Structure 1
Amino acid sequence: MAGSPALKPSRRKANAADDHLFDRELEDLPAELRWREWMLRVEAVIFASAEPVSRETLARVVGKDCSVDLLIDDLVQELRDRPYELASVAGGWQHRTRPRFGETIRASSAPTRGGAAALSEFEATVLMAVGYFQPITRGELSKIFGKEVSRDTIAALRGAGFIGSGPRSPTPGAPYTYVTTPHFLSAFGMETLRDLPNIEALEDAGLLNRSVVANVPDENDNNYYEEDGTK
């Protein structure tokens, strides 16, 4: 019991720290400076994140009546002469190097962060098929390509974070299906699955054959998967 009073100051300090709230509103600043500070906060969060940052996440660091979209618009304008930009991908925003500097970065051999993992040509083609036909089973993928899509190929795409498990198929045996992930959209610079190239053009080029897969889902089907992997 003699030691109990000694704990009280520490508890008071902990409570004081808990009571300290992050100042979102910045009411002590003039309107112009407040907006500028919110812009810097939003850019800092996006810069620090390894994945696209959602509107809901950014809203946590600005005032409750602040428009995140207007802040983003101002940041886009501010970065218009920079070699990088704010890109809208996978339901959020991310810093991206402008395409015209891609060759420069490759020539430098500097290590980069993010981006797409290196895939074999066949793995990339399988990933493309998953993107168009999801949710899709490994057996259905094998029908598309006229040869077995191995578990190793699926494991490589899962390991790279490009695909994940979908619902069990209603076909006999209830095999697993596969769907793309938000990382797939982010890595390939797409905002939604609707940004995929036109499937008819790929069929005309002989790269995909939708007709060999029965009941392929489309955007009007209840089984069609949106960009975040949910129905």
Structure 2
Amino acid sequence: MMAAAADNRPSRRKNANTAAGRDGANAEDDHLFDRELDQLPPALRWREWMLRVEAVIFAAAEPVTRETLARVVGKDCSIDLLIDDLREELTGRPYEIVPVAGGWQHRSRSAYADAIKASNAPTRGAATTLSEFESTVLAAIGYFQPITRAELSKIFGKEVSRDTIGSLRNAGFIASGPRSPTPGAPYTYVTTKHFLSAFGMETLRDLPDIEALEDAGLLSRAAVQEEAMAAAVEGEEE
């Protein structure tokens, strides 16, 4: 099946969205590394591009963006069609290529999570272990960002300490956002691309349903909204 797909790809790619990020390519780099592979027949050229893209994704520590992959294939090559063929080829394997954090990454299939856990083998890119409270604070930041530490404390009905924020920052899950317009202009916090990558999300739209967390008593959307309104009124009075 893949042979037929490869035969068809060269004609399809002319009409597909072309890869981005090539305008700034250095002429010397183009000379040293053959992206176009014009000397190869179309089917072999497509196959080589597939292997290059898979190699880059496999070797990378973080999700690989379209712009990065465009550096190793021809200027008219469709990254999306290459990824489609790679994912089809990996059907039946215990791992796959998935869209994560604005790029693509090799991931083990969830069906084999128990086997991997039982092996006790060190894994690549494992998410930092968080306490239950740190996890719920991280979730709140994900839903309500940009958000201040005071607003987080209001949500949970108790202080969210600087140590908790520091732990999430050290894990690479959050970063400082814009300063809040509230009195004192405190820093807000936002999630990072590493947050998306570590939890296997492509965008923040992949966050779990917030209503389920509210029903479980873990988050209060109303609390943060009340805090924001109170801060806004206080700011106007100033």
**Alignment TM class, shorter chain as reference:** 0.7 to 0.9
Residue of structure 2 aligned with 1:201, choices 192, 212, 215: 212
Name the structure 2 match of 1:187: 198
Cα deviation, 1:182-205, whole Å, max 9, x if unaligned, reads 010111111100011111222222
Name the structure 2 match of 1:79: 90
Percent identical pairs in the alignment equals 78
Q: 1:18 to 1:27 in 2, by over 3 A?
A: closer
In structure 2, how many angstroms separate the alpha carbons of the residues matched to 1:97 and 1:26? 32
Unaligned runs of 5+ in 2: 1-27, 229-238
In structure 1, how many angstroms separate the alpha carbons of the residues matched to 2:29 and 2:208? 50
Name the structure 2 match of 1:113: 124
Query: Normalization by structure 1: what TM-score?
Result: 0.84
In structure 1, how many angstroms separate the alpha carbons of the residues matched to 2:116 and 2:215? 35
CA contact (8 A) 1:115 1:188 kept: no
CA contact (8 A) 2:154 2:227 kept: no
Q: 1:135 to 1:43 in 2, by over 3 A?
A: same
Cα deviation, 1:172-229, whole Å, max 9, x if unaligned, reads 0000000000010111111100011111222222221111123789xxxxxxxxxxxx
Q: Counterparts in 2 of 1:135-154, with a 5 A limit?
A: 135-154=146-165
CA contact (8 A) 2:179 2:186 kept: yes
Greater helix proportion: 2
Name the structure 2 match of 1:103: 114
Unaligned runs of 5+ in 1: 1-16, 218-231
Name the structure 1 match of 2:188: 177
Q: How much does 1:58 deviate?
A: 0.4
Residue 42 of structure 2 is aligned to residue 25 of structure 1: no
Name the structure 1 match of 2:170: 159
Residue identity opposite 1:99 in structure 2 = S
Residue identity opposite 1:119 in structure 2 = L
Residue identity opposite 1:198 in structure 2 = D
Name the structure 1 match of 2:22: none
Deviant stretches of 4+, over 3 Å: 17-20, 214-217
Residue identity opposite 2:191 in structure 1 = T
Cα deviation, 1:47-96, whole Å, max 9, x if unaligned, reads 11010001111011000000000000000000011110001110100000
Report the secondary structure of 2:208's partner residue.
coil
